[in-house]
Amino acid sequence: MTIDTFDGTAVRPSHWNLGPVIEQLRVSREATHNIRHQGRVRELPSREALTTIVNGLSAVLFPTHYGRPNLTDESIDYFVGDTLNTTLNRLTEQVRRGLQFSTECDAMCEDSLTERAHHITRAFAAGLPEVRALLVSDVHAAFAGDPAATSIAEIMLCYPGTIAILHYRLAHLLHKLGSPFIARLICDIAHSKTGVDIHPAAQIGASFFIDHGTGVVIGETAILGQGVRLYQQVTLGAKRFPADASGALIKGTPRHPIVEDDVVIYAGATILGRITIGAGSTIGGNVWLTQSVPPNSNVAQAQMRNDCR
CATH number of the domain encompassing residue 110: 1.10.3130.10
CATH number at residue 261: 2.160.10.10
Q: What is the pLDDT of residue 13?
A: 61
Among residues 263, 267, 261, which one has the least CA distance to residue 298? 263
Q: Between helices 180-194 and 47-61, what is the axis angle to 10°?
A: 80
Amino acid identity for residue 116 in this structure: R
Please list, residue by residue across 34-49, b when 16 or more beta carbons sit within 10 angstroms of its beta carbon and e when fewer do. Answer: eeeeeeeeeeebeeee
- Same domain as 244, residue 164: no
**What contacts 222, CB < 8 A, 6 or more positions away?**
199, 202, 203, 204, 236, 256, 257, 258, 259
Which three-class secondary structure string do you get for 68-129? Answer: CCCCCCCCHHHHHHHHHHHHHHHHHHHHHHHHCCCHHHCCCCHHHHHHHHHHHHHHHHHCHH
Residue type, 38: Q
Last residue of a domain, one of 163, 195, 227: 195
Q: Are residues 59 and 163 in the same domain?
A: yes
Q: Are residues 153 and 222 in the same domain?
A: no
**What is the chain's pLDDT, residue by residue, as a tens digit (309 residues)?**
455 555 666 666 667 888 889 898 888 888 887 777 665 657 899 999 999 999 999 999 999 999 999 999 999 999 999 999 999 999 999 999 999 988 776 667 788 899 999 999 999 999 999 999 999 999 999 999 999 999 999 999 999 999 999 999 999 999 999 999 999 999 999 999 999 999 999 999 999 999 999 999 999 999 999 999 999 999 999 997 777 888 787 887 999 999 999 999 999 999 999 999 999 999 999 999 999 999 999 999 765 554 545
Q: How many CA atoms lie within 13 A of 102 on its CB side?
A: 21
pLDDT at 252: 79
Query: Which residues form the domain of 229?
Result: 215-309
Tally of domains in the chain: 2
Residues 177 and 253 in one domain: no
Last residue of a domain, one of 141, 165, 195: 195
pTM to 2 decimal places: 0.87
The answer to whether residue 279 sits within a structural domain is: yes
Residue 204 resides in a domain: no
Residue type for position 67: G
Structural domain includes residue 165: yes
- 3-state secondary structure at position 232: coil
54 & 189 share domain: yes
Q: Specify the pLDDT at position 4.
A: 56
The domain boundary, picked from 165, 195, 225, lies at 195
Whether 14 is in a domain gets the answer: no
52 and 188 assigned to the same domain: yes
Count of beta carbons in the 10 Å neighbourhood of residue 261: 17
Query: Both 161 and 72 in a single domain?
Result: yes
pLDDT of residue 107: 65
